Structure 1
Amino acid sequence: MLGQTRSAQLVVRRLRDDRGSSTVEAALWMPVLFAVIWLAAQLALWLVAQHAATATATTAVDQARLRGATTADGTAAGRRQLDTTGVLRQPSLQVTRSANTVTVTVTGSAPRILPIRLHVSATQTGPVERDTRPSGTISPAGTP
């Protein structure tokens, strides 16, 4: 009996010594929790910016690849898309058109919550539309 009483006293004494430990643990873990939340929010903003860059590049390629279109048409469509989304910071839009393909590259950076700069880049390529004859030969422009 005496042994059980002594062990019970030790348990009670240990419980008394743990008072305030949850407050200390909370004070230690709160900065970690806030850092994780801020990192998650920054990642979400980067993903939205990446999606905006990809959507802009796709829109510009779709416009610039039309028959009779120019790089200026693709650039104008891309600028309108960038103005609509407004997500990218310091955006850059480059449209290149050859006889067979159109390539658009959009670069910029994501909005910042944390003091880090996250770059965003998207490139889309598509074929230029052209008329072909059923035999597979290419007809001159404007000729059916």
Structure 2
Amino acid sequence: MPKEVKPISMDLAHRRFCHAGEQRVRRMPGFAEGIKLIKGSALKSPCPPCLAGKGHQLPYVTNKSIRVRPSDSLHIDVWGPISIASKEGETYFMSITDEASRFCWIFLMKAHTDVVKCYQVVESYLLTQIGYQVKSVHGD
């Protein structure tokens, strides 16, 4: 003897079927046993989870008037000493990254005190070859 199925509303079926659309929910009784909808029922209004899931956020507005030029800000990282020296005996490494273009210079150094000399090479290159003046330097 088959078990009698109690009809459910369209809203309840919509929630139970993972917020499927109304047309899909109406076809469900034909796909599976034990599903029966109340005749004449319909979705009353869009449910809050459906509205939240289908909503779109507007893109954040970026201020185009503030433009960062290359070499406005450089970031310096120094690593070392490392346990294995390079072929020439360098045990320190220094990277200088331009925050606007993400261009990076890498220097090998024998001593930690060579940082100033490597920075001066990059600063003079930017000024003489490209015409950019360094405005700020960040480091650890």
TM superposition score normalised by structure 2: 0.25
Higher helix share: 1
* Higher alpha-carbon Rg: 2
TM superposition score normalised by structure 1: 0.25
Query: Which structure is higher in RCO with an 8 Å CA cutoff and minimum separation 6?
Result: 1
